[in-house]
Amino acid sequence: MKYDFTEIEKKWQKYWDDNKTFKTPDLSSGKNIKPKYYALDMFPYPSGDGLHVGHPEGYTATDIIARYKRMKGFSVIHPMGWDAFGLSTEQYAMKMGIHPKIRTAECVARFKQQLKAIGFSYDWEREINTTDEKYYKWTQWIFLKIFNSYYDEAEGRAKPITELKIPEGLSEREKFDFLNSNRLAYLAEVPVNWCPDLATVLSNEEVPEQVEKGYKVIRRNMKQWNLRITKYADRMLKDLDFLDWPNNIKELQRNWIGRSEGASLKFRIKSTVLKEDKFIEVFTTRPDTIFGATYIILAPEHKLVNEITGAENEERITNYRKTAEIKSDLERTELSKEKTGEFTGAFAVNPVNGAEIPILIADYVLASYGTGAIMGVPGHDERDQEFARKLGLEIVPVVIPQEVKTEEEKRIFTENTKNGEVCFSGEGFAINSGFLDGMSTSEAIEEINSHIEKNGIGKKTVSYKLRDWLFSRQRFWGEPFPIIHFEDGTFKALDESELPLTLPDIDSYKQSGTGESPLATIESWVNTVDKESGRKARRETNTMPQWAGSCWYYLRFLDPHNDKIFCDPEKEKLWMPVDLYIGGSEHSVLHLIYARFWYKILYDLGYVSHTEPFKKLFNQGMILGEDGVKMSKSRGNVINPDDVIREFGADSMRLFEMFMGPLEATKPWSTKGIEGLSRFLNRVWRLVTDENTGLVKSNITNEIPELKEKKLLHKTVKKVTEDIEDGDMKFNTAISYLMVMVNEMYKMEKICRSTIENFIILLSPFSPHICEELWEKLGNKNSIQFVSWPLFEQQYIKEDSVTVVFQVNGKIRAKMEVDYDTAEDVLEDHALYNEKILKLIMGKQIIKVITIKNKMVNIVVK
């Protein structure tokens, strides 16, 4: 009987289903003393295209670990689900005039069938779908928890809003505003990234992807929901240190959070149009250069611009702001390689030396970072210098590099800085800086910081690049916000008992055309009445972004059918954190920042018991087309896993994808390559079964293996175990050891049953179907999944003999086979009496001899 992978794979997939082989053990009984292991894949967005070969790569790796851990005696949870809200389903549904729910169901069915055909060991009873009402009820519920919380700065954690102290003597409306200004979810008129092509806003994190696709993204002020993720910036940064994540991902997140230490400084405004004293606050990382500040710049959107602009400057300022406004961020950065700006007519007073310096606006200053205003220090900041030269502003040198020592050098440096030929932005020593003169940069920063705090003109602060998370989208196919708005402009959250707030079932719907979500056009859904007061209200028509559902799905897997709470805290405590999380690196800043953020809020509120959700993270690399470039429909180089499975079987595909190289590497597909792995599995098949009779081959005996055979097995056990265990996800080497063992077994006249059985166990996490089949053929009853992983014994690992090399001056000149652990002095004698070595060292002086047991002898001569 030939190796009929199609039949075998079908048979075992059915067996696993029927016998619930991969059912998650119940930990909560307390009876289970086995350690837990949570192996998680990033759940897919079920698109209409179905799986591509890139999907199974990471999934196979996780599956290997999950199967291995079960055999190692762990209680394993290995679930799968669907991240099914999203734009592409909505767009398809809109085009075809069907409800996205129907389209989603179609896509899910296809994905599921494809995943099952690869033989992953998922516990399908825990399948979840973010678009299921029973699921998004809890997404909405968590949103309510976030909405009803504030961040206690003193304790550094989120707390229920009911614990927030409301100042005395506020009117009802003021109380309402006060609470809302403290909530972790808040509605605000903010400059957003509006994408006209998609008719929706995008978060900062999402912009690059859409721009790459050729969509336009512009700045626009809109009233939107935001989540106060910035409150968690510091904790998210610090906790990164303890995670077993790839360094580049940690670095990416650190950059994204973008912490910088500095100071905020207050400059008094001197303006003819301003009646009362006002201050401009600037943020700088170099407060020590304050004596070199020769002007102040406000972002064009800065609140004070209107107030300080005099009539004679108004036209120019207004025009400049208008031009800046319509530019997208991208245009703003690209076009302003030539810096531009306008004088407001007002001046500011430098708090340390009383100098009056002009206030300008320029679009190279961003409203959304720091305080939206800077002090221009053109002597020591390249951007400021470029701007100052363009507009002819004064440049004052205030820091001198250490290398500049002599008076003559100092004169030249000062001269060149003033005329704009030199811009030194590094650390050095303060000059022209009053009481800071002569101090090193770090001393000067410390001194100025205490000076400004003492005199109330500023304070040490920390600034982040991370912005609050823009959390609403103008879409239909997303979680509706459990919020209603009243006619007076106030709003309130629904009660938990009113959840889920479901999406309306409608035949067709269109974009509203006004920049609102399609939900706004569905009168019967939008108009409602407040259950408590009976007041007329209008539902929030925005929906949550796609990332909402994936922020907490790993928790729902632990308790997927619970309708009392999103996840039983007991179960959370037992199963979390995720021990291994595999997915693509494209999620390193989006999903992984958002999910950590939600988990931390839930932690603060007492619903979960750990501070981080994902202990170990691993990113699989991309699989390129056979031509070495990214797979894409337009290139026609897409490999469909269905075709691969039909031709070679799922086991060959799994094995090949792992054999291609280290998991994190980007590597091209190769049809010839998978043929090689298919050949290997055929060799394994014929090693065990007689192709004519279909029975176990007659040279497989029940004898006790000889030492040589034992050594072969134990060495393979050691290498495969270590490769799976060490966490590098380099399964290519594990597979190559299995190949070596097969090659060796082919050379043997007879093989002991125990040897071949152990080999099959070692191969089974990689290619489970064929191994189950052979396991059964060898007369075993239960699934191979329930067998213990073999152990290796040190006594069978060590070699009998080794080849030792003899070197002269570091060059290999001879080799010799010696007993393992031959003493060093014996090795030396061997080397010194070796014919070839003798010839080379004859008549020369031996300076020293370096000997390493079992490795080499190096004779150094002159």
**Separation in Å, CA 768 to CA 374, 703, 763, 765:** 62, 27, 7, 6
Q: Which residue in 67, 286, 571, 596 binds RNA (CB under 7 A)? A: 286
Q: Which of 25, 258, 310, 420 binds RNA (CB under 7 A)?
A: 258
| Min CB(62)–RNA separation in Å | 19
User: Count residues contacting RNA (CB under 7 A)?
Assistant: 84
Q: Which is nearer to RNA, 399 or 602 (CB)?
A: 399
The smaller minimum CB distance to RNA, of residues 179 and 860, is found at 860
User: Got the DSSP string for 315-371?
Assistant: HHHHHHHHHHHHS-HHHHHHHTTS---EEEEEEEE-TTT--EEEEEE-TTS-TTSTT
CA gap 257, 525 in Å, rounded? 39
State the Cα angle at 168 between 166 and 171, rounded to 5°.
85
Residues 198-217 that bind RNA (CB under 7 A): 208
Q: Interface with RNA includes 632 (CB under 7 A)? A: no
218 binds RNA (CB under 7 A): no
Q: Which of 257, 660, 681, 752 lies at the binding interface for RNA (CB under 7 A)?
A: 660
**753 close to 704: Cβ distance less than 8 angstroms:** no
Q: Write the DSSP assignment of 392-461 as a string of letters.
A: T------EE-TT--SHHHHHHHHHHHHTTS----S--EE-S-GGGTT-BHHHHHHHHHHHHHHTTSEEEE
Does position 35 interact with RNA (CB under 7 A)? The reply is no
Task: Indicate the helix (H) or strand (E) that contains 500.
Answer: none
Contacts with RNA in 442-461 (CB under 7 A)? none
> Which listed range, 216-224, 235-243, 576-584, 809-817, lies at the site for RNA (CB under 7 A)?
809-817
Of 3-11, 73-81, 84-92, 328-336, the segment contacting RNA by CB under 7 A is 328-336
Among 136, 138, 232, 283, binds RNA (CB under 7 A): 283
374 binds RNA (CB under 7 A): yes
- DSSP code for 578: B
Residue choice 625, 809, 818, 822 for contact with RNA (CB under 7 A):
809
Site for RNA in 382-411 (CB under 7 A): 383
Report in angstroms how near the CB of residue 375 gets to RNA at its nearest: 7
Residue 717 engages RNA in binding (rule: CB under 7 A): no
Residue 257 interacts with RNA (CB under 7 A): yes or no: no
Q: Name the burial class of residue 793, with classes exposed (0-12), middle (13-18) and buried (19+) by CB atoms within 10 angstroms of its CB.
A: exposed
- Residue 124 makes contact with RNA by CB under 7 A: no
| Minimum CB–partner distance for residue 639 and RNA (Å) | 15
- Give residues 586-615 in contact with RNA (rule: CB under 7 A): 586, 589
Residue nearer to RNA on the CB measure, 362 or 580: 362
Task: Determine contact, residues 461/281, Cβ cutoff 8 Å.
Answer: no
Residues in CB range of 444: below 8 A, 6 or more apart? 288, 430, 433, 436
Question: Site for RNA (CB under 7 A): which residue of 34, 72, 220, 332?
Answer: 332
Q: Quick check: 332 and 314 in contact, CB under 8 A? A: no
Judged by phi (left if over 0) then psi (alpha if -120 to 50, else beta), residue 512 lies in: alpha
Is the distance from CB of 41 to CB of 2 less than 8 angstroms? no
85-104 residues in contact with RNA (CB under 7 A) are none
Task: Say which DSSP state 74 is in.
Answer: -
Minimal distance, residue 505 CB to RNA, in Å: 38
**Least distance CB 138 / RNA (angstroms):** 30
Quick check: 862 binds RNA (CB under 7 A)? no
C-beta of 273 vs 805, nearer to RNA: 805
| In the complex, minimum distance from the CB of residue 767 to RNA, in angstroms, rounded to a whole number | 14
Report residue 439 CA to chain centroid gap: 42
Among 161, 802, 816, 832, binds RNA (CB under 7 A): 802
Q: Which of residues 558-587 bind RNA (CB under 7 A)?
A: 585-586
Per the structure block, which two tokens stand in for 10? 């079908």
Q: How far is the CB of 261 from RNA (least distance, A)?
A: 8
Binding mask 334-363 for RNA (x = CB under 7 A): -xxx-x-----------------------x
Among 165, 747, 781, 862, binds RNA (CB under 7 A): 747
Rounded least distance, CB 528 to RNA, Å = 40
Q: Which stretch binds RNA (CB under 7 A): 163-171, 284-292, 392-400, 699-707?
A: 284-292
**Dihedrals phi, psi of 191, to nearest 5 degrees:** -70, 125
Provide the H-helix boundaries in 131-197: 133-147, 172-180
Residue 299 found at the interface with RNA (CB under 7 A): yes
When binding is defined by CB under 7 A, the residue of 19, 272, 319, 333 that contacts RNA is 333
CB nearer RNA, residue 271 or residue 858: 858
Q: How many Cβ atoms are within 10 Å of 716's Cβ, its own excluded?
A: 24
What's the rounded Cα separation, in Å, for the pair 787 and 25?
A: 16
Q: Is 743 in the site for RNA (CB under 7 A)?
A: yes
Nearest residue (CB) to RNA, 471 versus 659: 659
Helix ranges (H only) for 186-282 are: 207-212, 233-240, 247-257
Given 301, 381, 540, 773, the residue binding RNA (CB under 7 A): 381
User: Is 855 one of the binding residues for RNA (CB under 7 A)?
Assistant: yes
Q: Which of 746, 782, 797, 819 binds RNA (CB under 7 A)?
A: 746
Across the beta sheet with 469-470, the strand order is 200-202, 185-195, 218-227, 469-470
260 DSSP β-pair partners: 463
860 binds RNA (CB under 7 A): yes
Q: What's the longest Cα–Cα distance across the chain?
A: 110
**Cα separation, 491 vs 65, whole angstroms:** 49
- For residue 619, give the nearest of 685, 684, 663, 683 by alpha carbon: 663
Q: How far is the CB of 735 from RNA (least distance, A)?
A: 7
Binding of residue 29 to RNA (CB under 7 A): no
Query: How are beta strands 279-284 and 260-270 bridged, if at all?
Result: antiparallel
The nearest distance, CB 744 to RNA, in angstroms, is: 9
Contact 746, 697 (CB under 8 A): no
Which of 528, 562, 807, 822 is the binder for RNA (CB under 7 A)?
807
Indicate whether 740 belongs to the interface with RNA (CB under 7 A). Answer: yes
Alpha helices in 531-637 (DSSP H): 547-550, 553-556, 569-575, 591-604
Per CB under 7 A, 463 contacts RNA: yes
- CB-nearer residue toward RNA: 282 or 499: 282
Cis-peptide, bond into residue 246, ω within 30° of zero = no
Binders of RNA in range 666-685 (CB under 7 A)? 666-668, 670, 672-673, 675-677, 679-680, 682-683
Cβ of 91: how many Cβ atoms within 10 Å? 15
Give 667's strand partners: 623
Among 117, 201, 365, 580, binds RNA (CB under 7 A): 365
Q: Which of residues 465-494 bind RNA (CB under 7 A)?
A: 465
Q: Should residue 662 be labelled a site residue for RNA when binding is judged by CB under 7 A?
A: yes
We find the least distance from the C-beta atom of residue 564 to RNA, in angstroms, to be: 40
Q: For residue 812, what is the DSSP state?
A: E
Is 252 a binding residue for RNA by CB under 7 A? The answer is yes
715 lines the binding site for RNA (CB under 7 A): no
Closer residue to RNA, CB minimum distance, 287 or 549: 287
* Bridge-based pairing state of the strands 81-82 and 128-129: parallel
Fill in the DSSP letter of residue 35: P
Secondary structure class of 856 (helix, strand, coil): strand
What gap in Å lies between CA 147 and CA 155, rounded to an integer?
19
Q: Token digits for 67?
A: 């199967």
Region binding RNA by CB under 7 A among candidate stretches 13-21, 403-411, 637-645, 845-853:
845-853
Task: Kindly identify the residues of this chain, within the stretch 489-508, that bind RNA according to CB under 7 A.
Answer: none
Q: Which of 256, 597, 775, 789 binds RNA (CB under 7 A)?
A: 256
